[in-house]
Chains A and B, each alone.
Chain A
Amino acid sequence: MARLDVADALSRAGTYPHAVLAYVGRDGYPVNIAVDFTPAAHGATVEIGAVDEGLRPDDGQEVELTFSHIRPQPGVGYDERRYVNLWGPATRTGEGLRVAVRRASGWDEADTPFFEYAERGVPAGRSYLDELGAKPRLSRLWTVFLATRLPFLTATLIPVGLGGVVAARDGAFHAQWFVLALVAAVAVHLGLNMANDLFDDANGADAANVTPTPFSGGSRVLQYGLVSRRAMVTGCVALYALSIGLGLFLAAERGWGLLAIGAVGVALSLAYSAPPLRLVHRGLGEPVTALGFGPVMAVGTYFASAGHWSWQPVLASLPVAVLIALVLYVNQIPDRAGDAAAGKRTLIVRLTPAQVQAGYAAGVAAAYACIVAEVAAGVTPVWTLLALGTFPLARRVWDGLRAHYGDPYGLMPAMQSNILLHLLTGLLLVTGYVIAVVS
């Protein structure tokens, strides 16, 4: 329950059909009973109807009035949860009572959705569990799944896949080197996710975020106490070590030019959220993401497979580079209050909602224009135009941004569609290359 302004609470109380009067009886047990009530038109008082003499509190005694509402949903449970608590001294008025309301609290899930309400309780919950000597836990599989943010690997699979099919089109695809490049890219991505959580925990951005969603607000494993910082650091370092080790091996085997590409990738992933650069704090998260999850991964995979550099994978990855930047862009919308509070001035924090929406439209238009222009210029196969078929998804995201910009949970379908937009556009680009290779 959260503290409410008394006037606001009284106004809310007047909308309930039902109230419960509570006080502490002479035997020390609390008493609560249903009562009829009428909030006074003026002043902070509530008139209570007749109460049986044997159950009336003493004159001047501190009492509580609780107004509670649910809507039963047969076969499901109930919804529309809300309640208001009022406290103050009660004076006897004939058979009834008059309560002078001094303070109030309550909760209405229409104002504070349940998930936000629960999130606001996390510090108290952690503290309570600490006192019990207990720890929250999930299965190891779920913990790893959450801590690494595994589902976001699509951001890596697409550019790596593009690097592979461009190499295949050039007749330079080698499966064993491609697989090693894929493992290195996956490792650096998962390491980056963990590093990002560690830095956002350290700077307070994730703790300040009370409206996380499955797509935004970090993995929360540190905030929920599911994983210790030490374990997170260990996992992060191990993943980076694996990636760097594989990168060195690939560079030694396929050409030292790959070392430069890998170094850029690792540097970008760290500079994204690590001090001193913390590029995402400076509104540069989107270009860094576009570069890292676009050209760097595509050309790195291409180089590992083909053994040499080419502009082709760079160009092929440009549309998905823009789209993955837009995934970050949209996913930062629900985080903007927490980010701003922690001094993480992302692009979303810096822009107005209208500017953010216009920026999204411009980004999508640029991605599709890129696909068309590259085909027109003969750079990419004509079959990659299949990727234009994802436009309805982009439209769905756009509509969602306009309808639910201020509602983190209402925005979730748009965030999901936006991730799908990147994934399906990327898969169709890959498909276009595959058709070109086999036909």
Chain B
Amino acid sequence: MSDQSPVLPTAVIELLDAALVGELTVIDETGTPVTYPLIPLSDGNLVYLTSSVLFSRKLRHIKANPKVCLSLTDPVAVAVEPFHRATIQGDARVIEDDPHEGWESLLPLWRAKEPAIDFFLKKRFGIPLFFERSVIEITPRRVLWWEDGRASEPARVYELAGVS
């Protein structure tokens, strides 16, 4: 089943908003998938993640190959009722003009999921490099959607023509 959708479906946005962790898969220099659990953030149009420069390997992979996907699949980390699952495929770009403060525009979205981030940000002097961060911006191209969360069944596929 495949649908054309100009933007991310509302149910997917709700899933993104609820997810404490999603699994970001990037492709390394050998063509092998590598997956990183990260906090997914969304403004309802694009998907954002942030990465400290301390853990920069994924950033290098994305710069070399921007094709990525993000799954929202863990019932514990994505506490929605009824439970759904989604995988978002898209093109990523790394935004790092100002690793010191540029990512802070995402703080309100991050804070909503991990309020403790403010405590750690106040202690920034203790782990300064952790707060030198790049933003991963994903433009979704396709969404695989499992209404009942059973990913062994065929997914509903949304081709996202209008997201930019």
By beta carbon, the residue of chain A nearest B157 is A54
CB within 8 Å for A68 and B32 given contacts A24-B27, A33-B73, A214-B126: no
- CB pair A32 B35 closer than 8 Å: yes
A55 vs B89: C-alpha distance when bound (angstroms):
13
Interface residue ranges of A141-176 to B (CB < 8 Å): 142, 145-146
Query: What count of chain B residues pass the 8 Å CB interface test?
Result: 62
- CB pair A34 B73 closer than 8 Å: yes
User: Please, which residues of chain A bring their CB within 8 A of the CB of B67?
Assistant: 28-30
Is B104 among interface residues, defined by CB-CB distance under 8 A?
A: no
Give the B-binding residues of A (Cβ under 8 A): 1, 17-18, 20, 22-24, 28-36, 49-52, 54-55, 62-64, 66, 68-73, 75-78, 81, 83, 85, 87, 95, 115, 118, 121-122, 124-126, 128-129, 132, 134, 136-138, 142, 145-146, 214, 224, 226
A/B interface sample: 10 pairs, CB < 8 A: A22-B35, A23-B33, A33-B73, A34-B149, A51-B152, A64-B32, A66-B37, A118-B52, A136-B129, A214-B126
- CB pair A125 B34 closer than 8 Å: no
Contacts between the two chains (Cβ within 8 Å), count: 185
- CB pair A20 B20 closer than 8 Å: no
User: Please, which residues of chain B bring their CB within 8 A of the CB of A75?
Assistant: 115
Shortest C-beta distance, B58 to chain A (Å), equals: 10
A146 vs B124: C-alpha distance when bound (angstroms):
12
- CB pair B34 A34 closer than 8 Å: no
User: Please, which residues of chain A bring their CB within 8 A of the CB of B79?
Assistant: 72
- CB pair A134 B99 closer than 8 Å: yes
Is B17 among interface residues, defined by CB-CB distance under 8 A?
A: no
A49 vs B69: C-alpha distance when bound (angstroms):
21
- CB pair A224 B77 closer than 8 Å: no
Q: Which of A29, A142, A145 has the most CB atoms of chain B within a 10 A radius of its CB? A: A29
- CB pair A138 B35 closer than 8 Å: no
- CB pair A18 B76 closer than 8 Å: yes
- CB pair B25 A32 closer than 8 Å: yes
A161 vs B62: C-alpha distance when bound (angstroms):
58
- CB pair A35 B152 closer than 8 Å: yes
By beta carbon, the residue of chain A nearest B33 is A22
- CB pair B115 A118 closer than 8 Å: no
Closest 9 CB pairs of A and B: A77-B114, A121-B54, A34-B73, A66-B35, A128-B56, A22-B33, A125-B54, A125-B53, A34-B151
Question: In the complex, given contacts A22-B69, A121-B129, what are 10 additional A-B residue pairs having Cβ atoms less than 8 angstroms apart?
Answer: A1-B36, A22-B35, A24-B32, A34-B151, A49-B152, A70-B21, A70-B76, A75-B115, A124-B54, A138-B124
A51 vs B152: C-alpha distance when bound (angstroms):
5
Shortest C-beta distance, A407 to chain B (Å), equals: 18
CB within 8 Å for A20 and B31 given contacts A121-B54, A138-B128: no
- CB pair A31 B69 closer than 8 Å: yes
- CB pair B71 A142 closer than 8 Å: no
User: Please, which residues of chain B bring their CB within 8 A of the CB of A83?
Assistant: 37
By beta carbon, the residue of chain B nearest A139 is B125
CB within 8 Å for A52 and B153 given contacts A18-B74, A68-B77: yes
Give the A-binding residues of B (Cβ under 8 A): 20-21, 23, 25-27, 31-37, 52-57, 59-60, 67-71, 73-77, 79, 85, 87, 89-90, 96, 98-100, 113-117, 124-130, 132, 141-142, 144, 149, 151-155
A18 vs B35: C-alpha distance when bound (angstroms):
14
A28 vs B142: C-alpha distance when bound (angstroms):
13
- For the complex, would chain B's binding face be called helix, strand, loop or mixed by DSSP majority? mixed
User: Please, which residues of chain A bring their CB within 8 A of the CB of B151?
Assistant: 33-35, 52
A90 vs B44: C-alpha distance when bound (angstroms):
36
- CB pair B77 A20 closer than 8 Å: no
Shortest C-beta distance, B112 to chain A (Å), equals: 10
Contact among B37, B132, B141 for A125, CB-based, below 8 A: B132
- CB pair A64 B54 closer than 8 Å: no
User: Please, which residues of chain A bring their CB within 8 A of the CB of B21?
Assistant: 68, 70, 78
- CB pair A118 B75 closer than 8 Å: no
CB within 8 Å for A226 and B128 given contacts A33-B144, A63-B33: yes
CB within 8 Å for A118 and B142 given contacts A63-B33, A64-B25, A132-B99: no
A406 vs B46: C-alpha distance when bound (angstroms):
45
Contact among B27, B35, B128, B142 for A20, CB-based, below 8 A: B35
- CB pair B69 A77 closer than 8 Å: no
Contact among A17, A77, A78, A118 for B54, CB-based, below 8 A: A118
- CB pair B125 A145 closer than 8 Å: yes
A286 vs B71: C-alpha distance when bound (angstroms):
55
